Structure formats: structure tokens, C-alpha cells
Amino acid sequence: MRTHLQANLEQYGTQAQAYLDSPVHAQGPDLVKAQALVARSAAVGGQALDVGCGAGHLSFALAPHVARIVALDPSSPMLDTVRQAATAQGFHHIETAQATAENLPFPDASFDLVCSRYSAHHWTRLAPALQDMRRVLKPGGHLLLIDVQGEEDALVDSHLQAIELLRDRSHVRNRTVPQWHALLAGAGFADVAHDSWPVHIDFSSWVARMRTPATRVAMIRELQTEAPQEVQDALAIEPDGSFTFTTGLFWARAGV
């Protein structure tokens, strides 16, 4: 029997190029918002760490604003993709490191900025990961975290989590805004600012990117078509299965 990490690595090891090319990951208002936040912060010209970097889009977006950024991920193929894309874009100050979020291989107070994008919903030990991210931040340094938000309506959230897991066996949970605030406070972060916006998901490319088996695709479609009206409305489920979720951005300061 495989561990969750082993399943995660197997799932994403063959999908690095698909995630590099994915419009949902390669673009979006969150990248623009992230650049603006960092550009007017004390992290400008500093040391940055991108945790669960995937194909590296957040690292690439922030690279012009920092002196050095370490793109960290447990997947070797993802890191290979990051290195190749960074070189192609002329970002020679992007480094890579292979590790999990809760075991960051860096000394205390190493970074001015720690960030993560569309990764935390895969982490089984989120609280320890946030604590380790706080540990490697310098006092007063900033955390930038972007991820799909859980729904505060329990019925809607159950459906969202179910289709996420059916599509991607490495999915753990999308956290709600109150859950994020509690987790960040518990990890030692302060002055938390939050922003959110809807993201439209094209169903066919969403399942193709993950190579979701046809049997699970059929189960997702059955859940969608039989969902109560309030779920259909909240997730804006379309006839072809396309839908809308909410992405949240959290900007916080490392407490002293």
C-alpha cells in the first residue's frame, strides 16, 4: 500500500509539462496580485522560498522582484521542469530544492518571503507545514499563500471536496477562510489580509490534465448532474461539467 506522498509523486511526476502549460496555473489575477504585494513589501530584493512550487509559475512571477528564490517541491520531474523553464526565461537566480512542506531543509530565519500557490490542499500535515514556513521566515517577513478555498456551506463543500478527490487522488482538503485564519494564527502569523475571486474551470481540460480515469470522470458528472440546486448554483455547474470555484489569497506577517 502506498503512502499519500508516494501517490502524490506518482500522480504529478508525469504531469509536469501539462501543469507548465495549464492556463489556470500559468496565468491568473493571483499572479498579478502577488507581484503587487511583493513589489511594495520589504521582501523586494530579498530571499524568497516557493513551497510546493509545482511547475514554477509563482517563482517566475516573483523572480523580477527578489534577489534569490528557491523553488521547492517533492517531485523531481516538477523541479526539472522549473529549472528548464527558468533557464529559458533567463531567471538564473531561481534555485530548486526537493523536500516536503513540513520538513524545510533550511536554517531558521533564512527568508524574507515564503510563498505557496495551489499546493496546500495536497498537504496532509498543514499545521506543521505552516509552522515550518514560519520558522524559516525572518522576523517580520511575509507569507503569501494562494489556494482553492473550501466552501463555508457544508453541503456545497462536501460536493466540492468529493469531485476534487475523484478527479485527483492526491487531494486532501480545500480549507475555508475561517480555517485558514485559525491555522495561520496558530502557526505564529499576524496581520493577515485576505482576498478572493472566482475561477472558471473548463471540465474537459481539468480532468485531462490529471488523466482522471473514465470511470471517475463519470462519477464526477453523476455527482454534478444529481447535485441539489443550491450546489449547482453555488458552483455554477454548466451542462458540460465546467464549474467555478473560489481562489483565496492570504498575505501575513511573521509574528515576533
Task: Return averaged pLDDT per consecutive 10 residues of the chain, 256 residues in all.
Answer: 67 62 75 95 95 95 97 94 94 96 97 97 96 97 98 98 96 97 98 96 94 97 98 98 98 90
The pLDDT value recorded for residue 27 is: 78
In angstroms, the CA 193 to CA 181 distance is 10
The pLDDT value recorded for residue 240 is: 98
Which of 202, 200, 182, 201 has the alpha carbon at shortest distance from 192? Answer: 182
For 223, residues 6+ apart whose C-beta sits below 8 A from its C-beta are 159, 162, 163, 166
CATH entry, 4-148+172-198+245-254, from 1.10.287.70, 3.40.50.1360, 3.40.50.150, 3.30.830.10: 3.40.50.150
Q: Please compute, for residue 92, the number of CA atoms within 13 A of its CA located in the half-sphere on the CB side.
A: 1
The pLDDT value recorded for residue 21 is: 61
Question: For the whole model, what pTM was predicted?
Answer: 0.93
Q: Is the dihedral of CA 12, 89, 30, 38 positive or negative?
A: positive
The pLDDT value recorded for residue 3 is: 79
Sheet with 111-117: strands ordered across: 94-98, 68-73, 47-51, 111-117, 137-148, 243-254, 189-201
The pLDDT value recorded for residue 25 is: 73
Please state the domain extents for the chain. Answer: 4-148+172-198+245-254
Q: Which amino acid is it at 231?
A: V
